[in-house]
Chains A and B, each alone.
Chain A
């Protein structure tokens, strides 16, 4: 923000203070993340600057050590499965709820979104007791279903947001031109709401990918995911392999951000096309 020309010297001084404060806060936000990235390339197992030397040994450990390998595989299996389920269920829920004539819409929406707000430990305990009754604890299916429940709200929210700007007369136009409902959905509606669905799916993927509390409750060592492995790694003995894992995850989330930004632009363009 540029200062107006009539600013007094005191005001200029305060403006300087304000800019310094902002710089510090931005540093506070990114420095911790940026600082651990170089540490993952350190040749020695302690966390000091300047780096004693460069090495890829922690990445070698991360990608080749069986414990980490299994954790990566588990995370991928669980995240992909729950993303598919959550995207399907969340999109259907959003489509249904966006019709005007749904009774108790607010209540249903509130319940669907509650896993985002309810402390995850409570969700995890409830699932632990509930899934124990039907024998789903300590199983992949249990963790996948639990992550689906946690991830669905993100899909519901993104798709609902996209649907608010969706012009329903397009469906009527398609129907008028002879398209059966399923075809109108596939050829007209889905391409237009696709950015919302895909960004919902990305959020769902990262919800599951980052999730550790539910895995701690519901999973056995067999379902050990990447965050779970990191969690016990930090608790027991913090090794630089964890910084390699962290760097790997930072790169992934940067990619996620990029993907979401591209989707947002595309969605804006589609909206612009209509307007």
Chain B
């Protein structure tokens, strides 16, 4: 139970407060409780009551002169607190020295670090999440430092994202270049037929293709069946939920994205160039490497950049085919948004991923031009 009391502030002004007395002792140690920005509300009163039942004389000066801001009205609370006349409020809270009083309650108030944390958290904007997303933190002296080793996971995640994207891009180039060449040099009828083999996977849902890989790679799946049957393996091995499975499935999904731009460039290269090179005495490999390949570089650049950019944002496939250590940045953005509800962290990670993606997007736009992209 609390009672409303009138008392005189230090500057002589009449002021009000909420008081709770302990039941037992008439003379008790006193606690001055400072209200939150909502005002002296039921919550503050309940704490006063609890302090009183613990044997303290507890008083909360009403710095808002009786106004209680509803908990839903954060803007008003913020306004009320920010326009508070602090000189008057301190007079209402009465006398110091406060430092000793605070330290007596909890030694942590005497530590500079604690006040630094308060100072940093009192701003509307904070770099905390962005720094955390880079595995950085403020150390006790307020400087930016590396975060504790057991919490430093994100640099590893970016590294992994870039590595997986790079490996997938390299694999699609390695597999895609020969078939792009074949498609571009075969007679139109045959190449149109073979093109279906590229376009069917291309137009099939990523989820369908990921399903296919999950079915194939399972420990009881077909690839294991096949390998055991041929005799390559003596017993079944885990092919899924690891890095290899992730890269395999992603390569399969991205292959058409790399092949098609390379194909469309190869299509424009006249076969006479190779014949000319050969007739001038170049060996087949020399002619291919010095005459043909340089002409395909624009297509290689477009296909690889496109695949690399798309890989950076992969979420579904690693989530279904990868293990815990194969999850890329997108997974963590989703995790912090949907599961952990740490939206600051989700946004910071998203911003990092976006920044990296945009760098490559700008390169892509400079080199190839996004509006020159063709579909179908």
Contact = CB atoms under 8 A, between A and B. Distances in A.
Interface in A1-40: 1, 4, 6-8, 11, 14, 18-19, 21-22, 25-26, 28-30, 32-33, 35-36, 39
A238 B33 CA distance: 58
Interface stretch (B40-48, B139-147, B201-209): B201-209
Interface string A226-242: 01001100110010001
Given A47-B215, A119-B312, A227-B207, A11 B284 contact: yes
A217 B206 CA distance: 18
Interface in A139-190: 154, 157-158, 160-161
Nearest to B194: A26
A74 B212 CA distance: 24
Binding site secondary structure of chain B: helix
B216 A119 contact: no
Contacts of A14: 284
A230 B353 CA distance: 27
Given A4-B275, A253-B204, A122 B313 contact: yes
B316 A36 contact: no
A269 interface: no
A121 B334 contact: yes
A242 B211 CA distance: 8
Nearest to B218: A47
A63 interface: no
A47 B212 CA distance: 11
Contact of A32 (B194, B205, B213): B213
Interface residues of A, number: 73
Interface stretch (A53-61, A83-91, A243-251): A243-251
B179 interface: yes
B350 interface: yes
A33 B196 CA distance: 13
Contacts of A154: 375
A113 B370 contact: yes
B215 A36 contact: yes
Interface in B345-361: 346-347, 350, 353-354, 357-358, 361
B221 A47 contact: yes
A21 B178 CA distance: 8
Nearest to A126: B350
Nearest to B313: A119
Contacts of A46: 220
B208 A122 contact: no
Interface string A55-72: 000000000000000000
A213 B316 contact: yes
Nearest to B205: A210
A80 interface: no
Nearest to B183: A22
Contacts of B255: 25, 28-29
Interface in B153-204: 175-176, 178-179, 181-182, 185-186, 194, 196-201, 203-204
Contacts of B194: 26
A110 interface: yes
**Closest 5 A-B residue pairs measured CB to CB?**
A119-B313, A1-B185, A32-B212, A121-B330, A253-B203
